Chains A and B, each alone.
Chain A
Amino acid sequence: DTGVSQDPRHKITKRGQNVTFRCDPISEHNRLYWYRQTLGQGPEFLTYFQNEAQLEKSRLLSDRFSAERPKGSFSTLEIQRTEQGDSAMYLCASSLGGRNEQFFGPGTRLTVL
Chain B
Amino acid sequence: GQNIDQPTEMTATEGAIVQINCTYQTSGFNGLFWYQQHAGEAPTFLSYNVLDGLEEKGRFSSFLSRSKGYSYLLLKELQMKDSASYLCAAGGNDYKLSFGAGTTVTVRA
Contact = CB atoms under 8 A, between A and B. Distances in A.
Interface residues of B, number: 23
A14 to B, nearest CB: 24
Contact of B30 (A43, A48, A99): A99
Nearest to B47: A101
Contact of A45 (B33, B35, B45, B98): B98
A91 interface: yes
A85 interface: no
Contact of B101 (A4, A33, A40, A95): A40
Given A106-B41, A107-B42, A42 B101 contact: yes
Contacts of B48: 101
A34 B94 CA distance: 15
A91 B33 CA distance: 17
Interface of A: 4, 33, 35, 40-45, 48, 55-56, 91, 95, 98-99, 101-107
Interface of B: 4, 30-31, 33, 35, 41-45, 48, 87, 89, 91, 94-102
13 contacts: A35-B99, A48-B96, A55-B94, A95-B95, A98-B94, A99-B30, A99-B91, A99-B95, A101-B33, A101-B45, A102-B33, A104-B44, A106-B41
